[in-house]
A and B are shown apart, each in its own frame.
Chain A
Amino acid sequence: MNKKIQKVVRKRRYYMLAVAVLLAASACKKYLPKERETVGADSQYTIDTYQPVLGRTTFFTDNFYQGSTTYPSDFKIVNPRRRNGDPAPELTDVFPVMVWKEAYDGTEKSVAEIEAKRVKQYRPLFEIGPHSGAFTMWAEARSAFVRSQPDSGYLFDVELSNSGGRRYYRNIKLMPLKERPYEPSNYNASTGQPVSNGVYASVVTNIKGANTNRYLSYNDVDVYIRKIVKAGVPATNTLTFRFLDTLYNPIDPAKFAETDWNNLVHGFEKQITATGVTYKMAYPIPAVEVPTRFTTSDGRRAKTRFSYSRLGFNGGRETAVLGLDFAIYEPGDWEIVFAFKNDNPKFTND
């Protein structure tokens, strides 16, 4: 390069000129639309009445039609109120709730291991997913302080906002149902009162009546799921299975000889006595609604099967199965009783 070039290159004002030109080129940008998210006119809550059962954690998902709204977006519950317009502090105040921090998968070896996977946090009892619009009713909400049906419950609004604007979905209804601490349930959903004595067993197969010599059916077995509360004694979170004959005398569980007692439920420290089988449990049962070896295939119920076998009339071996698919949502000392009300099962060979 010759010296003239170098001289010009050194002069500062040419750089200034270049910068000015570049600025001029970039100046037009501010008149262009900015990239923003969208709040869609067609986006909508697809469910406007939420009826969670109190005493269990209910997670309402897939309840918002995204439409042309773009994510990430923010969702917020605004102005939760009782039907008469009074404020509803029970929905906005924070309560200690148990939340999962690690995934339960059914392979845990002790109650402590399960308990280590969840932790206590302080949260409002009714929450919205901050970006998904999904609702959660925590199990710690009780009819004692949360309005439940037949009360008409609560109203609330949801604010959807993102960089494209905001929109309100008004008067979404929350009408909780009273606690039904176990399933299958004999409680009426809205009154919370029992409507029958017991529930039916899920499986009654090949159980022959000792006296009638006929195969017993669902109508011959009453199942009672009940919480044992001993005054002054703290609950130890156990589950006991008992079997009663027609005279309400206990049947020795050992008679259900082919039962896989070790894997009957996801319980620990099994104790078999002549009157019942007791496990230490982590509640709720099932702990998480995922399929494990202890649950039904959809994971929503614990699956218990009691069985024995005997030689039948023509010498064939008959395997009898008594089973119950159940769920228990409240911690405590629970008892599941199978009462043979019309005839006793026949354990002997023909």
Chain B
Amino acid sequence: MKWLPCIGVLACLLLFAVPTHAQNKITVKGVVKDNAQQTAMQGVTVSTSKPSKTIATTDANGAFTVTIDAGAELVFTHSGYAAVRKTFMASTSSVSITMSVKDNTMQEVVIQGFRQKTKETATGSSAVISGKALQDVPVSNVVELLQGKVAGLNVQNNSGSPGGMGTINLRGVSSINVSSDGFLTPTSPLFVIDGVPVDLNTNYEYGFQGGGAGINPLALIPPEDIEQMEVLRDAAATSVYGARAAYGVIIVTTRRGKSKVPIVQYSTNFFVKAPPRLRDVIGGKEERLFRIRTILDYDTSAAAAQALINQTPFLSDSLNPYYNNATNWQDYFYRTTYNQQHNLSIRGGDDRFNYKTNLNYYQENGIVQNTGFKRYGLSMNAQYAPTNQLRVQMNLSSSLGQKQNGSGVGLIQTGIASGGSSSSLLPPPSLFSENNSALAASRVINNNKTANIATSLDISYEPIKGIRFGNLLSYNFISGTADRFTPSFLSNGSSESYSYNDRTYTLYNRSLINFTKTLYNLHNLNAYVFNEINTYGFQANVISLDRTANDQITGPIGYGWASSRGGTLNNIRETRQHGYGGSVSYNYDRKYVLDFNFRFDGLSTTGSKQPYSQNPSVSARWNFNREKWLEKVSWLSYGSARVSWGRNIKPTGSIFDTYGRYIVGLPYNNNPTVAIDYATVPNENFLPETQTQTNGGVEVGLFNNALQLTYETYYRSIDNQIMRIQLANTSGFNELQTNAVSLVNYGMEWSAMMRMFKQSKPFQWTLSVNGAINKQILTKLPDNLRQIRQEITDGGSNVPIVYRIGRSAISNLIYHTQGVYANTGDVPVNIATGKRQQLGSGTGYYFQGGDPRWTDVNGDYIIDEKDLLPIGNPIPKVTGGILSQMQYKNFQLNINASYTLFRDLLNASLSQTMQNFSRPTTPGALVPIDQYNYWKPSAFDKGSGTPNAQYPNPFDFRRAGVMQPFRSNQTLFLEDGSYWKINNVVLAYNLDRKMISRLHMTSCRLTLTVNNVYTFSNYSGPDPELVTQLGRDNSGGYPNARSYAVGLNVQF
């Protein structure tokens, strides 16, 4: 009972206390609104400042009612928003609190090295894209929207194929490996989606390689569900992601529940996709007369011309069904489509328990016949934290993509490229006409599906203060199927049934022990050790049946058994990775930050001599605005300088490069044998690709964050890249996979964000500009060679590429065209032999007026392969974007633009178009030629003609077959591929809160969107973006469509 006096004293105190203060209690009622959208904010925490205690949260209408002491300060907080503090002296019932999105980037949460930290203490280079910037524009793949948003992230939407993906490169192209059909090995950054790593480079081959559904794994993420994307650029930021992080990391975080009151949000878009302007062609009779005139003018003699015309029925035989047609082929392939998307998100909760469920449906019909993409997605996540010491977080996402590829294989539409460029003289597609690519495009039955289940479970436990154990387990399973049936009437009477399925799994587990300690409130220390494993497997099976019973029965076997095939494809893959290491991070009063990471990585594809590689990284940051001598500078909101150095690896090659391969050999004594494959010699010194990067950066915020500037510069070397070299035949093996290629990328990135008006003004305008300069230089080739040439057969230009040390990674090997010979007399003459310059040695084809003037590099009066020069750089030097966000009251106008500058494109498509003029008896499309400045002979002399013509004589068909004046490998078709593009324009209107509150909504937003608005370019081809990474416009691509969307976003 010795407590009693104490209680008595307390009671007395209370007695005194209550009356003195009770008379000052006030009631505050009010509404919290979002400054940007002028909508009610739900779930805003209202707390007292002293002591800090939560006393209320706002309801669905943003309203709150609290009773506090008069003169107390209330703090309104909401994640992502700047806290608002307000002191109330008397009761009030109509307080209006306006909260603004936190614009101090220093307080932004970034994830670097498995940990969330504020940007102020992050030493690596990273950029955050808010999920808001990725909404309102309906696209099948969210990557399309990243174009121009982050400095240094170069996104080229070089395919409009629904569900596909363009190319994405961070800080330049990281590989020089070009497949024989002309595709650069993808070097996309590693995506980590809610903790699940998705590596786009390993297996997804951009849909080119024939097999597969052609659906990009990222196309299965609903953009509406993305909370934020973070792009990690330098080695310090990515170092702990270890293997596969060499090309950068993009962390995708989906939305989470963070409102005590559940939110139900529904958004939808209806959009129209319109094909781009199709090219003009000459049609019908005009085309026929054009062809006849060509033959009459340029054949060797009048008699030969007459004979040729008479031998060509579609020019002369009026009874032939091929005569006198005028078919608009492009019309058969392209269409305007109507599409929709729906997304329903249900989320709520607080730090202790939160949840989210997201349902998504996206449907897009491609502008090319018989193509389209559908996405069905269901994902959920939840976090349980019964105490501050234990936290369990889980994600589960499942999605299904469905795609029709038409007659192509995803990105490439060869059927349409050939069909769309057919002569108008051919009869329209029917069962009885020969040209059936149009029919094939629309009648081939194909159905491709990709199902993806991604799960992750993140548990962390802190038994002792400062030491936290964590484990993240994730499993990602992708299954793709592709079924295609080509009826017999489309393929010369033999139907074809093709069935493909593949399975990909990625299992990832990471265990972590984290230690945190703060001393004297100044010294902050954080350290952890981790251990991670990653296994990956891929297997694809195909059955191809030839000549099934009829066009209705697609199996079980075809009677063309000799050409029917089945089995597992040889791109089967099974890899293991193990990594372990640790990290120490120290900062002094958040002023000086120092990070040190070290990790060991072992890969199953690395040679047995050195299975583990060591990857250190060191980085530091100085927040100089916290220095005393800058404290007085009022216009400096924040300022910091960063520097980092680090190394990372990327698994390359396959296990066969390291260990060799056994294959089924020839039978011996009628017994099957297993023999060593002598194609590639095992390389026990095989190494993973290594990236070493040095990065420096400066970040400054000025004038109360009205102007925020970031500048980065980097130098990175990518070593140990693979290249096969031929071995001497005495070795017994044909090839060796070496690690002998090195490439250096260096450059700089800048971004600026300007807020034009004070935040309190009704009109708000934020302008963000970013850009990046990237240069790359090839620094090493195998065998100490300075130059290697590689042949390319890409079905369009077939221009070889050349790797040359000291130049950019890839150059096209082409002829240098200096115009056109106006007269035969202008052709140089060999002073010794008196012969004019000729094409090839001994072909007897001498140059004459109207032929292209190619530079004779070695001066032997012969134009041949020795005169090819490496010219042009297809990789853009400068990329970036401009984003403007304007707001006036309830209206919002967002404009996104991007630019890609200084790249050289080979307009192989124009080359093909011009070549059609020299084939008067081959039915290919002819375009109106008057738009081109081409050489025309003068009336009296065929040897002289138009001076200063740009294009050679296109009609000299008897010589064109050998002379090939319009060959694509010449600078005549090398053009500047710079472009400025308005990516999208979004006009949004938030309905007035009073109006919608009757419908019990908390927010209702209407949007009008135009995507892919316009591209400004001097490039003469259709679209400077629609080119391969080697800078070739091969005209087989899937055009980008402009889309117009109407959207609605409702929140309850």
Binding site for B on A (CB under 8 A): 2, 4-5, 8, 21-22, 24-25, 28-29, 32-38, 57, 59, 61-62, 66, 68, 70-73, 99-104, 117-118, 121, 129-134, 136, 138, 164, 287-291
Contacts and interface: CB of A to CB of B under 8 A. Distances in A.
Given A8-B702, A38-B787, A59-B833, A71 B858 contact: yes
Interface stretch (B459-467, B591-599, B609-617, B799-807): B799-807
B635 A291 contact: no
Given A34-B806, A99-B831, 19 more contacts: A4-B703, A5-B702, A24-B713, A33-B805, A33-B806, A35-B806, A35-B807, A61-B860, A100-B832, A100-B833, A103-B829, A103-B835, A117-B834, A130-B859, A131-B858, A132-B860, A136-B832, A288-B834, A290-B835
B698 interface: yes
A133 B862 CA distance: 13
Q: Is the interface of B mostly helix, strand, loop or mixed?
A: mixed
A36 B746 CA distance: 20
Q: Report, as a range, how many residues of chain B touch the other chain.
A: 35 or more
A102 B833 contact: no
A100 B858 contact: no
Contacts of B963: none
Q: Is the interface of A mostly helix, strand, loop or mixed?
A: loop
A22 B747 CA distance: 10
B971 to A, nearest CB: 16
Given A5-B703, A66-B866, A72-B857, A21 B711 contact: yes
B310 interface: no
B836 interface: yes
Contacts of A22: 748
A59 B711 CA distance: 61
Interface string B31-69: 000000000000000000000000000000000000000
24 contacts: A5-B703, A5-B707, A21-B713, A22-B748, A24-B713, A25-B713, A28-B746, A32-B806, A37-B786, A38-B785, A38-B787, A61-B860, A68-B785, A71-B867, A99-B831, A102-B825, A103-B829, A103-B836, A129-B859, A131-B857, A136-B832, A289-B833, A289-B834, A290-B846
B530 to A, nearest CB: 33
Interface string B832-876: 111110000100101000000000011110100011010000000
Interface of B: 635, 696, 698, 702-703, 707, 711, 713, 715, 744, 746-748, 777, 779, 785-787, 804-807, 824-825, 827, 829-836, 841, 844, 846, 857-860, 862, 866-867, 869
B834 A118 contact: yes
A213 B857 CA distance: 62
Nearest to B778: A33
B233 to A, nearest CB: 15
Given A61-B841, A62-B841, A289-B833, A70 B787 contact: yes
B746 A29 contact: yes
Contacts of A73: 858
B833 A68 contact: no
B832 A57 contact: yes
Contacts of B748: 22, 25
A100 B830 contact: yes
A103 B698 contact: no
A72 B777 contact: no
A2 B703 CA distance: 9
Contacts of B869: 71
A164 B786 contact: yes
Nearest to B777: A32
Contacts of A136: 832
B829 A101 contact: yes
B634 to A, nearest CB: 9
Contact of A288 (B787, B835, B858, B862): B835
A70 B824 CA distance: 30
A33 B779 contact: yes
Nearest to A136: B832
Q: Which of B702, B779, B831 has the most chain A CB atoms inside 10 A of its CB?
A: B831
Contacts of A103: 824-825, 827, 829, 834-836, 846
A21 B806 contact: no
A302 to B, nearest CB: 15
Contacts of B841: 61-62
B746 A25 contact: yes
Contacts of B833: 57, 59, 100, 288-289
A36 B804 CA distance: 8
Contacts of A57: 832-833
B699 to A, nearest CB: 13
Contacts of A104: 834
Given A61-B841, A68-B785, A100 B829 contact: yes
A129 B806 contact: no
Nearest to A118: B834
Q: Which of B827, B857, B859 has the most chain A CB atoms inside 10 A of its CB?
A: B859
A71 B857 contact: yes
A287 B628 CA distance: 91
A29 B746 CA distance: 9
Nearest to A291: B844
Contacts of B746: 25, 28-29
Contacts of B862: 61
A21 B699 CA distance: 13
Contacts of A34: 806
A36 B833 CA distance: 33
A331 to B, nearest CB: 15
A292 B103 CA distance: 82
Nearest to A100: B834
Q: Which of A8, A68, A71, A118 has the most chain B CB atoms inside 10 A of its CB?
A: A71
A34 B744 CA distance: 12
A33 B832 CA distance: 40
A35 B860 contact: no
Contact of A101 (B698, B831, B866): B831
A349 B841 CA distance: 50
A131 B856 CA distance: 10
A57 B635 CA distance: 82
A131 B866 CA distance: 11
Nearest to B804: A35
B380 to A, nearest CB: 46
A5 B807 CA distance: 42
Contact of B779 (A32, A102, A129, A288): A32
A25 B836 CA distance: 50
Nearest to A286: B834
B953 to A, nearest CB: 18
Contacts of A21: 698, 711, 713
